[in-house]
Amino acid sequence: MPTYLSETMFVILGDPDDSATALNACLDKDFILSFMRPWFGEGLITANALTWKKNHKLLYPMFSLQQVRRYLPVFNLQARRLVKRFTEHENKGAFTPELHVLLVSFETICHKSIAFLVSFIGKRQE
């Protein structure tokens, strides 16, 4: 089902086989992934099509069902913390969510990569 955000068309796919076909056919990354580059740099996720084709199988073991299940409690915790943070801004006008997303992303990476729970949310006065 196509949908538009400004002048850009997005296609929402629900079938995994259709998604795999589309992803394999469209290996060049769209501008939408550019927001990830400050965190991931020019890594495999944001890599160009040639780099992706040569190396994407390195990621497969990390996204097995068993591995993903290990991450779910952390993702759930961090999503709840982010929603709580966003709720604090409810009915207070516009705010910039990027800092909150960045902090929660960093906390999640620290928690899963070095098994250390850090908490930056709520520490900064705005």
Range of the domain at 24: 2-60
Q: Choose one of 60, 75, 104: the last residue of a domain.
A: 60
Count how many domains the chain has: 2
For residues 25-50, average pLDDT: 67
7 and 52 housed in the same domain = yes
Is 40 within the bounds of a domain? yes
Is 119 within the bounds of a domain? no
Is 92 within the bounds of a domain? yes
pLDDT tens-place string over residues 53-107: 777 777 778 778 888 888 888 889 889 989 998 998 888 988 888 888 888 888 8
Write the CB contacts of 82 (distance below 8 Å, at least 6 apart in sequence). Answer: 100, 101, 104, 121
pTM over 0.75: no
- Give the distance from CA 115 to its chain's centroid: 19
